[in-house]
Amino acid sequence: MDGNSHHNSAHGLTPWHGTTIIGVKRGGKTVVAGDGQVSMGNTVMKPNARKVRRIGEGGKVVAGFAGATADAFTLFDRLERKLEQYRGQLMRAAVELAKDWRTDKYLRNLEALMIVADAEVLLVITGNGDVLEPEGGITAIGSGGNYALSAARALVDYEEDPEVIARKAMQVAADICVFTNANVTLESVES
């Protein structure tokens, strides 16, 4: 699901689509990986942004974002607060964040999508108030998201390790999408 298909940035340029984040859940292990590129229009501003990170108490939740960097940090911060509030229950925290994101005046203007995961669930959170559990345990967002998703879906029949699937899928996306680079950050959680 490509974020820039239903969003037109108020700023004219859409910096937020320049990225790929993938989540793969298989056999008790979940991996979230993302590239490091931040683009503004057709210009690469920064090749090594950390778009995937551990959040919450003890780093039990992994989150990745496609979107404007400042917006994403606001969302990471909000999600961490929700996790504290709901004692680490990711599904509940994600639903509450999505609700705020849809209704809060300030948050509504944020342009981003998030993939979040803990040992139990893999979710996509959108600014429309959606919390989606991907079919088959694979999801991807950002401008290279569809490439990574296609590659990962093709790989699952031949590969068990979610980290191998995520890395290969990110490589495919980096080779095809000009807004995605091969500088991959990967975090994993196991049940």
What radius of gyration, in Å, describes the C-alpha atoms of the chain?
15
For the chain, the structural domain boundaries read 3-181
Separation CA 49–CA 33 (nearest Å):
12
CATH class of 3-181: alpha beta
Task: Identify the residue whose tokens are 């090594």.
Answer: 48
The whole-number average pLDDT for the span 8-28 is 66
Whether 147 shows a pLDDT value over 70: the answer reads yes
Q: Check residue 56 and give left, alpha or beta (phi > 0: left; psi -120 to 50: alpha).
A: left
Q: Enter the pTM of the model.
A: 0.84
Separation CA 49–CA 148 (nearest Å):
19
Phi, psi of 94, rounded to the nearest 5 degrees: -65, -45
Residue 180: per-residue pLDDT: 73
Residue range 103-117, pLDDT digits in tens: 888 777 777 789 999
Whether 135 shows a pLDDT value over 60: the answer reads yes
The whole-number average pLDDT for the span 15-26 is 80
Percent of the chain residues topping a pLDDT of 90 = 51
- Active site positions, annotated: 19
Six-digit token string for 78: 């909000």
The whole-number average pLDDT for the span 45-64 is 82
Separation CA 45–CA 113 (nearest Å):
20
The whole-number average pLDDT for the span 1-27 is 58
- Residue 180: exposed, middle, or buried by beta-carbon count in 10 A (0-12, 13-18, 19+)? buried
